[in-house]
Structure 1
Amino acid sequence: MRVTFAQQFEDGLRNINTAASQLADAQRRVSSGRRLNVASDDPAGMTAAIDARGSLATTDAYQRATDAASSRLLVADTALNDIINQITAAKVTATNALGSGRSQTQLDALATEILGIRDAVLGDMNTRFGSTYLFAGADGGQPPFTEAAGVVSAYQGDATTQSIDIAEGREVQITFDGSAIMQGSDAAHLFDELTTLATSIQAGNGTGILAGIAAIDRAFDRTNFAQTRVGIALKALEDVQPHLDASHLSSLTRVSSIEDADMAKAITDLSRAETAQQSALGAFASMARLTLMDYLR
């Protein structure tokens, strides 16, 4: 079959375009360091890459959550630790007020100490992380307790708490029910108990002082229980972190293996593509120099 000049021209032009496209692809792989730049590079590989990046994004979200939860819980732990110290100091002060031989001035001073401790505990219970009150339950937008004219309000939060996922199937609590800590099943919250205790100390009321010490002991147990729960949550965060780090590295490695180019192969492919393009151009140029006499021979 006789090959016409037009057919040779079309074939030559097609070869040039193919070589140019292959060269552009090779240059893109070398310059970007990526094997996959568009879906057409490898549709199946692109699907696998999307799945791998989804796993990586999930792991990264868990890591951000654990960092945020750890920061919150450390703040809560500090506040609870101070409350325990304040409660312990209140018990010592109340115990010192028992018995006879105390002057009214001394009793007044001890009562003032109790009220100061009450205010310090109030400050701890109103601890915030960012704009969130940690001991107001899920309703972290307002302080759990307020004080006006020496009177502390009833609990203004709620009993619902917030938790955050730190891994698949695992979560930790990041806000707390302040009423459960300050009051529990008692008839009055600790702030009222301390206010009443201060009054009993001023009056030298031994029965009232003993009742106040008993209320302090119950508050100590509740606060200690809350701090233990925070400690357990912090330990859970510590335990999950290595697993998240390993999962992050595994997902990142998988993404790299799918998307990244083998640079040695990419450079070799680039060299071959350049040679192929030069050959296609050379062949086309040779064809263009042919005359009618060449075809008639």
Structure 2
Amino acid sequence: MSVVRVTQPMLVASSLRNLQGGLNKYADLQEQLSTGKRVNRASDSPSDATGSMRTRVAISDQNHYVRNAENGIGWLGTVDTTLSSMADSTRRARELGLQGVSTGTSSVNSREALAVEVDQIRADLISQANTTYLGRPVFGGTTAGAAAFDTTTGAYLGDSGQVMRTVADGVQVRVDMPGTSVVGPDGASLFDDLTTLSTALRAGDETSMRTALSNLQGRLNDISTAQATVGASYKRLEQASQKGQDSVVALRTTLSDLEDADLPQTLMNLKMQEVAYQAALGATSKALQPSLIDFLR
């Protein structure tokens, strides 16, 4: 059986190595207390660090989805408010048309007054149809222009593109409303119906008035259908936003479990490590007594 001879340099080196190890543990615990994090670098816990990075990416994705949903809610809120206003204006135009076909308001002057108000409603409706959100027309599709309709003729200037918002992985929601589905195509649009009604009022053409009134009722139905579509999309975005926010909360809890230090436990460990280190210092000072060489110097 061989015997290993322990020399003074070996004892010194071993003692210093152990002291340094204890000091490193003490420093690590101090860092955890000061940062509040159990994992401050990948070497602290490679598996937890990997999970932490993945969780942070997931949090970033969910925050992006929530921002998209909130932006979409802004779009659809603007569309819905505008549609309600357009419906009110269109109903007022129908009321004027009904007055025009009644026998009690058949004078030229009264019909002219009605026609003037119809013209004003038409101009106002074109302005409403050009409503924008963050500088983009909500009824213009993906057009880069500032308006969806020509302010004079009412001709459609937008395109058939769809403004989409990604609110979850693989889930997109449309947040605009095609202008032609609300007011109709060029040549047979809400604005054309109002022009027809205005002309018929001035001419006293009851047949044309009734045709325009029937068309306006159809436009009101189209606006109502558009509002229902917007309402359904709005609800989806609200749910997506809430789901995304809930996911962020859950992911942050997971991240905390992976990274955060248990401060009371860490403080206790620090005190224990401090006591252990002080004890090691005392033991080492006694073990490394001066040698005979030290006395002979």
Q: How many Å apart are 1:240 and its aligned residue?
A: 3.5
Query: How much does 1:37 deviate?
Result: 0.6
Residue 13 (structure 1) aligns with: 16
Judge which range, 208-217 or 126-135, deviates more.
208-217
- Residue 183 (1) aligns with residue 184 (2): yes
Which structure 1 segments of 5+ residues have no match?
none
**Per-residue deviation, 1:241:** 4.2
Q: What is the deviation of 1:283?
A: 4.0
Structure 1 range deviating more: 36-45 or 104-113: 104-113
Deviation of 1:235 after TM superposition, in Å, equals 1.8
> Equivalences for 1:228-267 in 2 at 5 Å?
228-267=228-267
Q: Secondary structure at the match of 1:152?
A: coil
Alignment partner, residue 97 of structure 1: 100
The Cα shift of 1:288 comes to 5.4
Question: C-alpha separation between the residues in 2 aligned to 1:105 and 1:278?
Answer: 106
Residues in 2 aligned to 1:253 and 1:180: alpha-carbon distance in whole angstroms: 46
- 2:123 pairs with 114, 119, 124, which one? 119
Q: Once the 2 structures are TM-superposed, how far is the Cα of residue 94 of structure 1 from its aligned partner? A: 0.8
2:70 counterpart of 1:67: yes
User: For 1:63-122, what per-residue CA distance to the aligned partner results, in whole angstroms no more than 9, with x for missing partners?
Assistant: 222222112211110000111111111111111111445222211110111111112211
CA distance in structure 2 between the aligned counterparts of 1:195 and 1:55, rounded to whole angstroms = 55
Deviation of the 1:153 alpha carbon? 4.1
Structure 2 counterparts to residues 30-45 of structure 1, below 5 A: 30-45=33-48
Q: For residues 189-241 of structure 1, give each alpha carbon's deviation from its aligned partner in whole angstroms, at most 9, with x where no partner exists.
A: 22232123212211111122122212212221221111110011112223344
The answer to whether the 8 Å contact 2:90/2:216 transfers is yes
Supply the distance in 2 between the matched residues of 1:99 and 1:141 (Cα, whole angstroms): 43
Q: Does structure 1 retain, via aligned residues, the 8 Å contact 2:68–2:167?
A: yes
Number of residues of Structure 1 aligned to a counterpart in Structure 2: 292
Q: CA RMSD in A?
A: 2.2
- Paired with 1:153 and 1:89, the residues of 2 have a C-alpha distance of 19
1:142/1:157 contact within 8 Å kept: no
Aligned to 1:193: 193
Q: Is 1:291 aligned to 2:285, yes or no? A: no
User: Are 1:87 and 2:90 an aligned pair?
Assistant: yes
The CA distance in 2 between the partners of 1:51 and 1:132, in whole Å, is 36
Could you tell me how far 1:295 is from its partner in structure 2?
10
Q: Is the 8 A contact 1:99 1:206 kept in 2?
A: no
The share of aligned pairs that are identical, in percent, is 29
- Structure 2 counterpart of 1:38, which letter? R
Q: Which moved more, 1:164-173 or 1:34-43?
A: 164-173
Contact 1:137–1:159 under 8 Å retained in 2: yes
1:146 Cα deviation after fit: 2.6
Aligned to 2:112: 108
- What amino acid is aligned across from residue 211 of structure 1 in structure 2? T
CA distance in structure 2 between the partners assigned to 1:45 and 1:159 by the alignment: 49
When normalised by structure 1's length, the TM-score is: 0.90
Q: How far apart are the structure 1 equivalents of 2:214 and 2:255?
A: 61
Residue equivalent to 2:56: 53
Give ranges in structure 2 of 5+ residues lacking alignment.
none
Q: Check 1:112–1:60 CA distance in 2 against 1; reply closer, same or farther (3 A cut).
A: same
Instruction: Indicate if the aligned counterparts of 1:159 and 1:179 stay in contact, CA closer than 8 A.
Output: no
**1:13-33 alpha-carbon deviations (Å, 9 max, x no partner):** 212221221111101111111
Please state how far the C-alpha of 1:294 moved relative to its aligned partner.
8.7
After TM superposition, the runs of 4+ consecutive aligned structure 1 residues lying more than 6 A away are 293-296
Q: Is the 8 A contact 2:59 2:251 kept in 1?
A: yes
Distance 1:251 1:295, change over 3 A: farther
Partner of 1:2: 5
Give the corresponding residue for 2:227. 227
Shift of 1:40: 0.4
Task: Give the superposition deviation at 1:284.
Answer: 4.3
* Separation of aligned partners in 2, 1:278 and 1:288: 15
Alpha-carbon distance in structure 1 between the residues aligned to 2:164 and 2:222: 20
Q: TM-score, normalization: structure 2?
A: 0.90
2:163 is aligned with 1:162 = yes
> Hey, what's the Cα distance between the residues in 2 that align with 1:141 and 1:290?
90
CA distance in 1, matches of 2:144, 2:230: 17
